[in-house]
Structure 1
Amino acid sequence: MTDEPAPRRSDATRAAILDAARRRFAEDGFRKATIRAIAADAGIDPSMVMRYYGNKDGLFLAAVDIHLDLPDLGAAAPDALGDLLIRRFLELWERPPSNEILLTVLRSAVTDETFTQRAQQLFAEQVAPAVLRIGDPADAPRRAGLIATQILGLALCRYILRLPPVVALTQEQVIAEIAPAIQRYLTSEPPKL
């Protein structure tokens, strides 16, 4: 016999709502997704969505809450940094629920200024601090920004636009192609112009 309390029904309802919201936001985007459709997907009354999350904005923010759990670059072998980061991002982009969350954040950020701030917050709170662990801290924002261009460009082409040559690449091929660029961004000095 365990001393753990049984999960409450409200926890299961919240989880069902978030799962349905992540799928619906990923498929339809923020503007097209409706509370009614999300509730139908979750098998509940729309009033329950409102009860737990208040409105569509509140539900969206809960649905896109993600912790990237990036590797500690300061503790990694210096020549393996690019490989570590691209492997982690591929893991995030290709496994549920993080793949749905990231897809939703990217789609929403490029179509709605309100949600651009969420993407910027994710970058500022989770990506930039990982890069601060190596190299010159004053140069970390430049390096983190360049890494974001590479990762987001890959995500756009592979998961949203689904460009056939990019989709056809195996994970190991993506790693072999992209890791050196990320490694260079992580360890490069600013160009002297």
Structure 2
Amino acid sequence: MSGEGSRPGRRSGRRPGKVDTKAAILDAARTRFAESGFDKTSIRAVAADAGVDPALVHHYFGTKQQLFATVVQFPADPEVTLSTIDAAPLDELGATIVRAVVTVWDSPAGPGVVAMARSMIAGEPTLARSFLLEVVLERVRARIATAADDGHARVALVAAQMVGLLITRKVIGLEPLASMPLPEVVAAIGPSMQRYLTGEIGAAAG
């Protein structure tokens, strides 16, 4: 058998190893999430696009949320921060979000968060939007939603506040905010966040 004949084809037979399989899953997930968003993407659909069993997706990446965090290269498990926010009393939700999120930014994972944010905003705004509204803030929105107000405008305002804080504190380093101690950041930003979540914001609160 010639060397050429023994060379494995790129698209035939089993995938040569788990690295290729994981890469195929990530490629498929990145495309699906970008085109359909988080809510409308399923593990089964990602697996079908990658040509693997859904069990492999779970094996390598865990839940859909963990897969999405890997796709956007989030350097920490978002569930840790989200669990802290979930446990906060409703009247302390604004301050808790600021405290929990800025703690991650100020941790060793912080540079990775900034790099991820820059990459998504510059190159994949659909993924950035899905990550913020469908993963990070959806559980918050579900808590504050009422029959008269679904909470979408409120969490969009929260996202705007936090993205602005990330850019001023970590990207452009605007002083004194860039070096402000965490308790002062929480005291300054928390009340505005709480108003967005549960206070009056014009027509949306009517």
Q: Where on the TM-score scale, by shorter chain, does this alignment land: which range?
A: 0.5 to 0.7
- Higher Rg of the two aligned structures: 2
Q: Measured at CA, do residues 74 and 125 of structure 1 come closer, stay the same or move farther in structure 2, by a change above 3 Å? A: closer
**Equivalence for 1:39:** none
How far off is 1:109 after superposition? 2.5
2: CA distance between counterparts of 1:95 and 1:146?
25
Q: Measured at CA, do residues 116 and 170 of structure 1 come closer, stay the same or move farther in structure 2, by a change above 3 Å? A: same
**Equivalence for 1:27:** none
- Identity within the alignment, %: 24
Asked if 1:188 corresponds to 2:170, the answer is no
Please give the TM-score of this superposition, normalised by the length of structure 1: 0.61
Post-superposition CA distance 1:22-41 (Å, at most 9, x none): xxxxxxxxxxxxxxxxxxxx
1: CA distance between counterparts of 2:106 and 2:174?
16
Q: Measured at CA, do residues 95 and 191 of structure 1 come closer, stay the same or move farther in structure 2, by a change above 3 Å? A: same
**Equivalence for 1:175:** 186
Structure 1: gaps (5+ residues): 1-49
**Equivalence for 1:128:** 138
The answer to whether the Cα contact below 8 Å between 2:95 and 2:194 also exists between their aligned partners in 1 is yes
The answer to whether the Cα contact below 8 Å between 2:141 and 2:150 also exists between their aligned partners in 1 is no
Q: Measured at CA, do residues 139 and 111 of structure 1 come closer, stay the same or move farther in structure 2, by a change above 3 Å? A: same
Question: Alpha carbon RMSD of aligned pairs, Å?
Answer: 3.1
How far off is 1:52 after superposition? 7.9
The answer to whether the Cα contact below 8 Å between 2:158 and 2:196 also exists between their aligned partners in 1 is yes
Within 5 Å, which residues of 2 pair with 1:96-135?
A: 96-97=108-109, 99-112=110-123, 115-123=124-132, 124-135=134-145
Post-superposition CA distance 1:50-91 (Å, at most 9, x none): 858649x85983633654232466653232111111111111
The answer to whether the Cα contact below 8 Å between 2:72 and 2:120 also exists between their aligned partners in 1 is no
1: CA distance between counterparts of 2:122 and 2:106?
22
1: CA distance between counterparts of 2:198 and 2:106?
27
